Structure 1
Amino acid sequence: MKPPAPYLPTASPALSQADHEALTDLYIRGTPANTLRAYERDLLYVTAWKSVRFGTTLSWPEREEAALAFILDHPRDLDDASEDDVARETAETLIAQGLRKSLACPAPSTLDRRIASWLAFHRMKNLTSPFGTPQVKQARSKARRAAARPPAPKSANPITRDVLEQLLATCRGTRRDCRDRALLMLGWASGGRRRSELTGLMREDVSLKEFEKRSIVWISLLETKTTQKGETPRLVLKGRAAQALVHWIEVGEITDGPLFRPISKADRVLKRRLSPDAIYQIVRHRLKLAGLPEDFASPHGLRSGFLTQAALDGAPIQAAMRLSLHRSMAQAQKYYDDVDIAENPATDLLR
């Protein structure tokens, strides 16, 4: 995957052509695939925004007034703005182009990510960004506060053990059922894996050396959102989850390549890997088959459900984090806090 030129390093007279090509290759190989995709989306958005707002292309380095206008256009709902408001007119054009969903105020995290990408493009070009100037920096801080909102959960509900069992009960006997059973159990029991981690797994990442004797399967993740390549510890699957994964490998005849793959309507296993969106569709499909609303949970429910169940079962948070690979104790603690407060005897004072 080769990124667009604006977020590749700019050729320098001090570098030979060979060195510049090596630097470009280093940027591509050293940037996670998810980050490259985010860069591409953000570059498309800011390019379109400036074209509509100012009628010009991006500048390198960008002008301070453009950076400030970008911040001012985003920390407010534009539904109530006058029809000739330039921010509203720009937003409506971006909506028509499919680059913005609505006139509502975007989440602060979305604005932060786009600015962070824009900053990264400047660094790659060895340029100073306008987002570091005092006025723009302060405006960004105020915009973050003005647009603050309670964080929305990534999944409407956690997929706790009882919900997971309902989903697994819909997986009966086809190859698709075997794949989905293995995917759901691995995604949940190995610590609550993210979609990109599930789709990135290869057959060679799975070790079956201890399966016959101990019913244990070892999983090696190349990298995660919180760990770099080579730093991710091996994860373990036991019992039913290990058996489900081994059964899928046998039924799907997975000898090498992607671990989880699409399956044709004729129940034939294809060679390519599943996309992250396919994981979303699988969870949605299994919820519907289980008689639950399709929006009951998202794939992140596997992750939140694992931690919630660990809290319900009294597992130490440090043990759960060893599998979930949460870097922040505070982030993981949120799931434990939800359980703790529900079981707090002080909540039963008036019944």
Structure 2
Amino acid sequence: MEPSAIPRPALPAALSQADEAALTDLYRRGTPANTLRAYERDLVYIAAWKTAAFGSALAWPESEAVALRFLLDHARDLAVAEPEDPAVQVAQRLIQAGLRRSLACPAPATLDRRIASWRAFHRMRNLASPFEAPGIAQARAKARRAAARPPAPKSANPITRPVLEQMLASCDASLRGRRDRALLMLGWASGGRRRSEIAGLMRADVTLDDFQTDRLVWLQLVETKTTLKGKTPKLVLKGRAAAALVDWIAAAGIEDGPLFRPISRADRPLPRRLSPDGVAQIVKRRLTLAGLPADHASPHGLRSGFLTQAALDGAPIQAAMRLSLHRSLAQAQRYYDDVEITGNPATNLLD
């Protein structure tokens, strides 16, 4: 399904075609790119499920019966259901289409996200969502509790300072090595940046004015998951991390455009930006070169590793959050709790 298939906002009847196009464009520009991609994926899945289950296209507004069937089909483990179960047959079609991995019950967060997208599509059309109906809302709450599971970490392990140093040691003087060194150090030392934030950085977002005098580099992210566009505070890189970034910019001759870019086989920077998946591949490759399993950590390990190391070094959590840009103290506190519990005197009661 094409991205343009995302439901357009409800429009006044007297609106001209030019104004209609401008308003639709405004919705797109005003929605984060990651959210748009999630909307597109969810709409493709929902539409395919409706076709497989009912043999018809999505309706606006959708009926409560369809919404309830969607909830029931995704709130149980179909691997133990009878093969002739309609939900199993629909799931098999989605698996064959590459839209579903298995018959296992999807994670509650996945179901919540798809329902949230479906509700958003209704809001765009100024329509009531069937998921607001009391009976369906109650069934959804029961499904969430029935499928509750411990939250899985976004990275198998945090990339703490010792692990990061091993990864950096694998970066040689080639352009690829300089890029990877700068990327890893920026991603870690600037507060644990998400891979989308690293990939989205432009040369114009980096200020080098204070590097020669104070060894400081300033970063200005346009937006993050927890900050609005234009509201993200400046972040700072110091010392080795700042020097690594300056070295990469000079070696690659980057004067404008994307900050981090793919490297050709001839060890030359390409003009396009590095993708978030490219950031993940760099982390995986450097872990392997450091003698660690490729799945030892994901790019989120840079973020969790920064906070874990801050806790290990005794940095105040408020100071760490000023760089990580965590909006929730409770969320950031989890990394500190994992470290501090080993120093809790109550753990020594038997000794």
Taking structure 1 as the reference length, the TM-score comes to 0.98
Instruction: Please tell me the residue identity of whatever aligns with 1:56.
Output: S
Which secondary structure does the structure 2 equivalent of 1:118 belong to?
helix
Do the aligned residues in 2 keep the contact of 1:7 with 1:120 (CA within 8 Å)?
no
Q: Deviations over 1:223-263 (max 9, x none)?
A: 00000011100000000000000000001111000000000
Instruction: Please tell me the residue identity of whatever aligns with 1:321.
Output: M
Which secondary structure does the structure 2 equivalent of 1:217 belong to?
strand
Which secondary structure does the structure 1 equivalent of 2:218 belong to?
strand
Instruction: Please tell me the residue identity of whatever aligns with 1:52.
Output: A
Partners of 2:163 and 2:90 in 1: how far apart?
44
Instruction: Please tell me the residue identity of whatever aligns with 2:93.
Output: T
**Shift in Å, 1:11:** 4.2
How many aligned positions are there? Answer: 350
Structure 2 equivalent of residue 226 of structure 1: 226
RMSD: 1.1
Superposition map of 1:266-285 within 5 A: 266-285=266-285
Superposition map of 1:51-200 within 5 A: 51-200=51-200
Which secondary structure does the structure 2 equivalent of 1:79 belong to?
helix
Whether 1:322 aligns to 2:340 is no
Which secondary structure does the structure 2 equivalent of 1:106 belong to?
coil
- The percentage of aligned residue pairs carrying the same residue is 71
Partners of 2:281 and 2:46 in 1: how far apart?
30
Superposition map of 1:240-251 within 5 A: 240-251=240-251
Taking structure 2 as the reference length, the TM-score comes to 0.98
Between 1:27-36 and 1:337-346, the stretch displaced more is 337-346
Partners of 2:146 and 2:12 in 1: how far apart?
41
Whether 1:343 aligns to 2:343 is yes
**Shift in Å, 1:216:** 0.1
Q: Could you tell me which runs of 5 or more consecutive residues in structure 1 were left unpaired when the two chains were aligned.
A: none
**Shift in Å, 1:59:** 0.3
Q: Could you tell me which runs of 5 or more consecutive residues in structure 2 were left unpaired when the two chains were aligned.
A: none
Instruction: Please tell me the residue identity of whatever aligns with 1:107.
Output: A
Which secondary structure does the structure 2 equivalent of 1:116 belong to?
helix
Do the aligned residues in 1 keep the contact of 2:6 with 2:40 (CA within 8 Å)?
no
Partners of 1:98 and 1:12 in 2: how far apart?
38
Q: Deviations over 1:170-216 (max 9, x none)?
A: 00111000000000000000000001100000000000000000000
**Shift in Å, 1:345:** 2.5
Structure 2 equivalent of residue 7 of structure 1: 7
Do the aligned residues in 1 keep the contact of 2:196 with 2:276 (CA within 8 Å)?
yes
Do the aligned residues in 2 keep the contact of 1:3 with 1:28 (CA within 8 Å)?
no
**Shift in Å, 1:6:** 3.3
